[in-house]
Amino acid sequence: MPTFEHGEFKVEVDEDGFITDPEIWNEELATALATTEGVDEMTEEHWKLVNYLRNYYMQFGIAPMVRKLCKETGFPLKKVYEMFPSGPAKGACKVAGLPKPTGCV
């Protein structure tokens, strides 16, 4: 497995840079992962989105549907892309430490 190294971190990730063990996630790691997604600074809005994803994942074991994410955080999809240029699934979920989405999605 490839590893992601940044500062003090050295963690196992999959081929697309998603951490393989969601349990090891913490805010410092999120900030480090964000740098791979072109996010230099995690603003309050970034955290709002990441925390929403995180809480949803803790409850349901998967990432939420994009429509729901937009409705419940109040961020239009365009705004999500502005915050995380690779989008909600590939960008925001990666920073929030969720596994890569699976199935026909």
Partner 1 sequence: MAIKTKKRVTMKDFSTPSESLAEFDPEETIDLPAPYDKIEELPGYKQMKEGTRDRLEASLDDTIAVGIPKPESKEEEEKLVEAFLRGLHNLFSKENNWTFLQPLTLSMEHCARCQTCVDDCPIYEASGKEEIYRPTFRAEVLRRLYYKYEKGGNKLFKKFQQGDIDANWTMISRLLELSYRCTLCRRCAQSCPIGVDNGLITHELRKIFSMEMGLAPKELHEKGTVQQLEVGSSTGMNKVAVMDNVEFIDEDMTDRSGIKVETKWDVEGADVLLIHNAGEFLAWPENPGCFALLLDAAGISWTLSSDLVGYDGVNYGLFYDDAQLARVAMKHLDIAKKLKVKKIVMGECGHEHKALGVIADRIFSGSIPRESAMTLMEDIVFNSNLEFDPERNDFPVTLHDPCNMARSMGIVEPQRRVLRKLAPQFREMTPHGVRNYCCGGGSGFAIMSGNNFTDWRVQVSGRKKFKQILDAFSDVDPGPETKKYVCAPCSNCKGQIRDLFEYYGATEKSGLYYGGLVELIVNSMKLLKEPFIDWEMM
Query: Shortest gap between Cβ of 99 and partner 1 (angstroms)?
Result: 8
29 vs 94: CA distance, rounded Å: 11
Examine residue 10 and tell whether it contacts partner 1 (CB under 8 A): no
Query: Shortest gap between Cβ of 26 and partner 1 (angstroms)?
Result: 23
Helices 66-73 & 44-60 angle (0-180, nearest 10): 130
Written as one string, the DSSP assignment of 19-72 is: BS-GGG--HHHHHHHHHTTT--S--HHHHHHHHHHHHHHHHHSSPPPHHHHHHH
Give catalytic status of residue 104 as yes or no. Answer: yes
Query: Shortest gap between Cβ of 63 and partner 1 (angstroms)?
Result: 8
Examine residue 9 and tell whether it contacts partner 1 (CB under 8 A): no
Among 7, 21, 28, 61, binds partner 1 (CB under 8 A): 61
Amino acid at 44: E
Active site residues: 104
Q: Which residues bind partner 1 (CB under 8 A)?
A: 2, 14-16, 60-63, 65-68, 71, 99, 101-105
